[in-house]
């Protein structure tokens, strides 16, 4: 595989993508914050596959940008893991054609940035309640990437279920002309959801973090057996998390599209949770049977 073409200037990236789109290429985009893991690899490989539909090789693209506007003042922006050389190698192995990795956040936002994207409804509650301003930062930078790239489709992981829902709502409401594709969670063999923040975990914390996926599995088993009261399912999951030493942020059973809490876990409802293992905040979710 050839090494992906690296862009650090968003204007040069915009020109390249515009030229490709105008020539009839199909553009598939994977926006990331870097430190790529197997979950990202699944997105990159699918972008390559989907870009090449119709018997013509399209353009598979990735962006690597640790977006400062989605981090709160006490969050882990300064220590968020970074490995551009490793990320480029991962993109190369997946067949990505070009990567945008701005060398300075100012290249994305300029000296004065006055316009923000607020997605109401689905951005409220859950992570939106715990991280004020987070989804405003996410939606703003994703819309900017859509405008710079003009992709036909963009791929995101379902592990960030609320983020995926916010981006889908934004793309539909603002007529972005982008198909937003959600891809299944990729897990470690023992069930832990892949996450760049897993790198923060000490060995004992890594073991404790299994409580997230195990509490979701237990809730799914209970729902499959006919236990449908959301409050009871949430209490069971919360108890397992706390028994593992986790500090629970939230455990909610919600409608998959509106993200509104439900009282009864009907098939297709989603249990979402967030918890701190030590100082590391992890999220996970599962569609209930």
Per-residue pLDDT of 230-272, as tens digits, reads: 999 999 999 999 999 999 999 999 999 999 999 999 999 999 9
Look at residues 156, 183, 210 and tell me which one is the last residue of a structural domain. Answer: 183
**In this structure, are 101 and 125 located in the same domain?**
yes
Name the residues annotated as catalytic.
40
Average confidence (pLDDT) over 166-193: 98
Asked if residue 188 is part of any domain, the answer here is no
H or E segment and range at residue 272: strand 270-277
Whether residue 148 is found in the same domain as residue 223:
no
Do β-strands 27-32 and 153-157 pair in parallel, antiparallel, or remain unpaired?
A: parallel
Given 125, 151, 183, which residue is the final one in a domain?
A: 183
Per-residue model confidence as pLDDT tens digits over 36-53: 999 999 999 999 999 998
Can you tell me the mean pLDDT for 18-41? 97
pLDDT digit string (tens) for 103-121? Answer: 888 899 988 889 999 999 9
**Residue 28's domain is classified under what CATH number?**
3.40.50.620
Between CA 192 and CA 207 the distance in angstroms is 9
Whether 174 and 200 map to the same domain: the answer is no
Q: What percentage of the chain carries pLDDT values higher than 90?
A: 93
Domain range enclosing 206: 196-283
pTM of the entire predicted model: 0.96
CB 48 within 8 A of CB 27: no
């Amino acid at each position: 595989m050839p090494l992906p073409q690296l862009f650090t200037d968003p204007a040069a990236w915009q020109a390249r993508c515009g030229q490709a789109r105008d020539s009839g290429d199909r553009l598939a985009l994977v926006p990331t914050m870097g430190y790529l893991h197997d979950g990202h690899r699944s997105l990159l490989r699918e972008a390559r596959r989907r870009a090449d539909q119709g018997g013509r090789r399209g353009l598979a693209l990735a962006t690597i940008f640790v977006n400062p506007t989605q981090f709160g003042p006490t969050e882990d922006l300064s220590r968020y893991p970074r490995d551009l050389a490793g990320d480029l190698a991962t993109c190369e192995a997946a067949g990505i054609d070009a990567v945008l990795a701005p060398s300075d956040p100012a290249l994305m936002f300029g000296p004065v940035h006055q316009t923000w994207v607020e997605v109401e409804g689905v951005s409220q509650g859950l992570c939106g309640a715990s991280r004020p301003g987070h989804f405003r930062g996410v939606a703003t930078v994703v819309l900017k990437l859509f405008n710079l790239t003009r992709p036909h489709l963009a791929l995101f992981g379902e592990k960030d279920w609320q983020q995926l829902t916010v981006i889908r709502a934004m793309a539909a409401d603002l007529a972005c002309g982008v198909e937003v594709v959600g891809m299944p969670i990729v897990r470690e063999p023992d069930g832990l959801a892949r996450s760049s923040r897993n790198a923060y975990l000490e060995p004992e914390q890594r073991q404790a973090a299994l409580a997230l996926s195990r509490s979701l599995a237990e809730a799914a088993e209970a729902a499959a057996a006919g236990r449908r009261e959301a409050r009871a399912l949430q209490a069971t999951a919360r108890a397992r998390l706390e028994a593992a030493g986790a500090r629970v942020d939230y455990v909610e059973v919600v409608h998959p599209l509106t993200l509104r809490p439900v009282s009864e876990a009907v098939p297709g409802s989603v249990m979402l949770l967030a918890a701190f293992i030590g100082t590391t905040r992890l999220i996970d979710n599962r569609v209930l049977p």
